[in-house]
Structure 1
Amino acid sequence: MFFKSQFKLLTVLIVTFIVSNSVLAHDVKSRDLLVEKMTQSSKSWNKNTLPAYPKGQPEVTILRITIAPHTKLDWHKHPVINAAVLLKGQLDVHTEDKKTQHLVAGDTLIEVVNTWHYGINNGDEAAELIVFYAGIKGSPLTIKK
């Protein structure tokens, strides 16, 4: 089991390196490899420009989050840049200034930073997402209101 988790992590790191490598400016497809750019932006979903990365020791965190059907999350904000892929289900994200983003399985999201918001799963199945946080060691990923 330990080897399997190491292999998965190594695979993610290799694919991340390939995708982030400046030589790859577009999708790549060959007989043995398919790399598809899902999202690239310097703005969050509400069209705000992402902040500069803070100084300090970078720390990347990847979370798998499952939100039960008909569940509303608490108001919160993220002090770090993060992006997500909704694997299954649906999710609506609402900000204090009444902006809304509706996601369905397969959608990506570059999350708002330092902006109060909440998510709600209005669907009949669990919403499952993978969230990638680009933070600084020792800093919180989420702050609740």
Structure 2
Amino acid sequence: MDIKNLFFVLAISIGLTSGAYAQGEHEHGKAQVKVLAKSTKSWDGSTLPKYGQGQPEVQVLKITIPAGAKLPMHKHPVINAGYLMKGELEVTTEQGEKKTIKAGDALIEVTNKWHYGRNIGNEPAEIIVVYASTEGSPITVLK
């Protein structure tokens, strides 16, 4: 899926995930919508924090992690969620909690919790991550 189509799917998903469209797969006109993730909690069960005050800002990043690579310990002070398009990743918190995701999986990431990601597959992992923050806020802090 190219980035233009991803933006279309995200826009349709956001527009249709309230009320009757909150769960499962749906058709709306010619578009099909499948909710990939919807939660008030991150993958480790922690409740997501409230949004900060100020001008909202959304960033959409495509991150490619080489096979066998391990990212440094870091945390995200803002809410974010990802969709793994290709590969296999393992996310580990400083406390030892682990989550493995494979291509086609969505993940609501931990917020304000030290963790790292590692590509445990044999090919580069490609993940699209959406960060919801306020303008000027850092999205990642290295330990």
TM-score (norm 1): 0.88
> What's 1:53 paired with?
51
List per-residue Cα deviations over 1:81-138 (Å, max 9, x = no partner): 0000000100000001100000110011000000000000021100000000001100
Bigger Rg over Cα? 1
1:29-88 residue CA offsets vs partner (Å, 9 max, x unmatched): 267221011111100000001111111110000000000000000000000000000001
Of 69, 79, 92 in structure 2, the residue corresponding to residue 81 of structure 1 is 79
RMSD between aligned alpha carbons? 2.1
What is the TM-score normalised by the length of structure 2?
0.89
Aligned residues: 141
DSSP-derived class of the 1:11 partner: helix
**CA distance in structure 1 between the partners assigned to 2:6 and 2:104 by the alignment:** 21
Note if contact 1:87-1:129 (Cα within 8 Å) is conserved in structure 2. Answer: yes
Aligned twin of 1:38: 36
Unaligned runs of 5+ in 1: none
Gaps of 5+ in 2: none
Aligned counterparts of 1:89 and 1:137: Cα–Cα separation in 2: 31
Alpha-carbon distance in 2 for matches of 1:47, 1:55: 24
Partner of 1:63, secondary structure, is: strand
Counterparts of 1:43 and 1:9 in 2: how far apart (Å)? 23
Partner of 2:131: 133
Which residue, out of 22, 25, 33, partners 1:25? Answer: 22
Displacement, 1:15?
A: 1.4
Alpha-carbon separation, structure 2, partners of 1:62 and 1:92: 21
Q: 1:10 to 1:100 in 2, by over 3 A?
A: closer
For 2:10 and 2:87, how far apart are their aligned partners in 1?
A: 26
CA distance change for structure 1 residues 56 and 112 in 2, over 3 Å: closer, same or farther?
A: same
**Structure 1: distance between partners of 2:94 and 2:36:** 27
One-letter amino acid matched to 1:79: P
Q: Could you tell me how far apart the structure 2 residues matched to 1:69 and 1:33 are?
A: 34
Post-superposition offset of 1:12: 4.8
Residue 115 of structure 1 aligns to which amino acid in structure 2? Answer: K
